[in-house]
């Protein structure tokens, strides 16, 4: 099939072709970036937390009186929870992966480094934290009861911990050429010695960038305050029963409290990622809708061209053109139009992605991703033109030549 006759025909009626080119370009640029952003959200939602998600639940405890003896109350509550049938262990803290809370510091290797190396989430935990969270200790040891200090909003600062446990990801980032065990890090002015390394422990904020999402520090503190976060790990298969029993037991110990935001970790994950899930679904629906509209546009334009060219098609059929020749003509024409739109769309997709990277701190879209999207658009064009081109190929030479 010669391309020159096709180009000549397009020049005689360029408006429809130009509109399709622009529609293809905008569709490719928007769909490409939308699906990439949706994929990033899906990847973020799939990040492992590092804790025993199937058996953990948590809730906030708010004391309703004016008492300040929080330490003894917390210790009584923890003893009560740990004594319940089906409980693996329990602890008090201020934050949990995906739930929020905790402390956020910049970690450095010396006290003079004000800017630090990277950001990190610090979780106050006690000597029961390892068993409660279900995290995997890959090196070193966990905290002993003698190392756990008291922590409240007035008398202690979490960056003063003498010893800490860090995640494997953070240890590798801080000490890429050697072991992190026994090495000091600085969360403030005082050094904290790394005594253990856990495999994973995700940051408390779901919006934390993926490259630092597993940069977490665990420090030996017993939190005591008017509001506390209790975390309980049940034995396998007993979580729901223990959840109900734990609330009843604590209310029995003291009714001057309010228990809030009681949730399993699975519910915590679902709530934390609900905005990201909604965004991914909306972007997916928008992309499908744009592709559908673009496909219908191609079908409509090609059908119009077929109706306008019935006489020419009939003459070609009468002169010996086969159905395959007619099909090839329209598919080649479509490929040229959609191809120009795809080229412009690739340029627009890169420009749009650069804007997103610069202003929203997202990852840069791989060129292979854009190339695959361009192939999808080209395939969509060929698929969309199939039905109108089949209609054109089935036009009878007699009927076409008799058309006015």
Instruction: Give per-residue pLDDT as tens, 136-157.
Output: 999 999 999 999 998 887 666 7
Nearest alpha-carbon partner for 382 in 345, 336, 349: 336
Whether pLDDT at 1 is above 60: no
Over residues 250-265, mean pLDDT: 91
What rounded mean pLDDT belongs to the chain? 85
**281: how many CB neighbours lie within 10 A of its CB?**
12
Whether pLDDT at 61 is above 70: yes
309 and 227 fall within a common domain: no
206 and 85 fall within a common domain: yes
168 and 225 fall within a common domain: yes
User: Is there a domain that residue 53 lies in?
Assistant: no
294 and 231 fall within a common domain: no
Q: Can you tell me the distance from the alpha carbon of 297 to that of 290, in angstroms, rounded to the nearest whole number?
A: 10
Whether pLDDT at 311 is above 70: no
144 and 86 fall within a common domain: yes
pLDDT tier, 315 (very low <50, low <70, confident <90, very high otherwise): low
User: Is there a domain that residue 235 lies in?
Assistant: yes
Chain centre to alpha carbon of residue 49: 13
| Sequence-separated (6 or more) residues with CB below 8 Å from residue 100 | 204, 205
Q: Can you tell me the distance from the alpha carbon of 232 to that of 240, in angstroms, rounded to the nearest whole number?
A: 11
* DSSP structure string for 324-362: HHHHHHHHHHHHHHHHHHHHHHHHHHHHHHHHHHHHH-P
Q: Can you tell me the distance from the alpha carbon of 267 to that of 274, in angstroms, rounded to the nearest whole number?
A: 10
DSSP 211: G
**285: how many CB neighbours lie within 10 A of its CB?**
12
User: Is there a domain that residue 178 lies in?
Assistant: yes
User: Which tops the pLDDT comparison, 203 or 15?
Assistant: 203
| Residue 243, phi then psi, degrees to nearest 5 | -60, -45
User: Is there a domain that residue 268 lies in?
Assistant: no
Which of residues 225, 255, 285 is at a domain's end?
Answer: 255
Which of residues 255, 290, 320 is at a domain's end?
Answer: 255
What is the pLDDT, as a whole number, of residue 41?
A: 86
pLDDT tier, 252 (very low <50, low <70, confident <90, very high otherwise): very high
Over residues 388-398, mean pLDDT: 71
Whether pLDDT at 40 is above 90: no
Return the CA Rg of the chain. Answer: 32
Q: For 48, what's the count of Cα atoms within 13 Å in the CB-facing half-sphere?
A: 12
| Residue 247, phi then psi, degrees to nearest 5 | -65, -45
User: Is there a domain that residue 369 lies in?
Assistant: yes
User: Is there a domain that residue 266 lies in?
Assistant: no
Query: For the chain, how many structural domains are there in total?
Result: 2
95 and 228 fall within a common domain: yes
Q: Decide if 97 contacts 203 (C-beta within 8 A).
A: yes
User: Is there a domain that residue 302 lies in?
Assistant: yes
pLDDT tier, 362 (very low <50, low <70, confident <90, very high otherwise): confident
8 and 129 fall within a common domain: no
What is the pLDDT, as a whole number, of residue 404?
A: 45
Write out the two tokens for 244. Answer: 């109900």
Q: Can you tell me the distance from the alpha carbon of 96 to that of 77, in angstroms, rounded to the nearest whole number?
A: 19
Q: Which percentage of the chain shows pLDDT scores above 90?
A: 38
Whether pLDDT at 382 is above 70: yes
38 and 71 fall within a common domain: no
What is the pLDDT, as a whole number, of residue 320?
A: 66
225 and 374 fall within a common domain: no
The DSSP H or E segment spanning 140 is: strand 137-140
Whether pLDDT at 22 is above 80: yes
Q: Decide if 389 contacts 324 (C-beta within 8 A).
A: no
The DSSP H or E segment spanning 208 is: none
User: Is there a domain that residue 251 lies in?
Assistant: yes
Question: In the beta sheet, which residues pair with residue 119?
Answer: 106
User: Which tops the pLDDT comparison, 65 or 85?
Assistant: 85
191 and 72 fall within a common domain: yes
Whether pLDDT at 29 is above 60: yes
Alpha helices in 361-396 (DSSP H): 367-384, 386-393
311 and 386 fall within a common domain: yes
Write out the two tokens for 106. Answer: 């910049």
35 and 174 fall within a common domain: no
Whether pLDDT at 403 is above 60: no
Which of residues 191, 221, 255 is at a domain's end?
Answer: 255
Provide the residue range defining the domain that includes 76.
65-255
Over residues 111-140, mean pLDDT: 91
């Amino acid at each position: 099939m010669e391309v020159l006759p096709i180009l000549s025909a397009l020049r005689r009626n360029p408006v429809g072709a130009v509109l399709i080119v622009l529609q293809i370009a905008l569709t490719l640029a928007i769909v490409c970036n939308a699906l990439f952003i949706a994929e990033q959200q899906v990847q973020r939602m799939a990040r492992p937390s590092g804790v025993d998600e199937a058996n953990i639940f948590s809730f906030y405890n708010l004391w309703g009186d004016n008492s300040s003896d929080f330490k003894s109350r917390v210790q009584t509550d923890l003893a009560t929870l740990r004594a319940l049938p089906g409980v693996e262990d329990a602890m008090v803290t201020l934050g949990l992966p995906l739930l929020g809370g905790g402390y956020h510091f910049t970690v450095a290797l010396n006290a003079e480094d004000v800017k630090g190396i990277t950001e990190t989430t610090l979780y106050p935990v006690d000597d029961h934290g390892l068993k409660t969270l279900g995290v995997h200790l890959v090196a070193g040891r966990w905290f002993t009861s003698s190392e756990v200090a008291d922590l409240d909003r007035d008398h202690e600062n979490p960056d003063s911990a003498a010893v800490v446990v860090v995640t494997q990801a953070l240890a590798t980032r801080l000490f890429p050429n050697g072991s992190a065990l026994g090495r000091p890090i600085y969360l403030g002015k005082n050094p904290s010695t790394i005594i253990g390394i856990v495999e994973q422990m995700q940051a408390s904020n779901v919006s934390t960038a993926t490259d630092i999402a597993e940069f977490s520090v665990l420090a030996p503190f017993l939190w005591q305050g008017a509001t506390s976060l209790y975390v309980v790990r049940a034995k396998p298969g007993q979580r729901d029963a223990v959840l109900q029993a734990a609330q009843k037991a604590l209310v029995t110990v003291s009714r001057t409290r309010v228990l809030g935001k009681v949730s399993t970790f699975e519910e915590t994950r679902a709530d934390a990622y609900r905005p990201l899930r909604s965004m991914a679904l909306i972007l997916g629906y928008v992309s499908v809708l744009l592709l559908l509209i673009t496909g219908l546009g191609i079908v409509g334009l090609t059908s119009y061209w077929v109706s306008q060219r019935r006489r020419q098609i009939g003459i070609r059929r009468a002169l010996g053109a086969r159905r395959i020749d007619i099909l090839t003509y329209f598919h080649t024409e479509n490929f040229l139009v959609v191809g120009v739109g795809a080229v412009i769309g690739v340029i627009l997709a890169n420009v749009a992605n650069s804007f997103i990277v610069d202003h929203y701190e997202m990852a840069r879209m791989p060129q292979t991703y854009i190339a695959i999207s361009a192939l999808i658009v080209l395939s969509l064009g060929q698929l969309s033109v199939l039905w109108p081109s089949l209609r054109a190929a089935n036009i009878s030479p007699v009927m076409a030549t008799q058309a006015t």
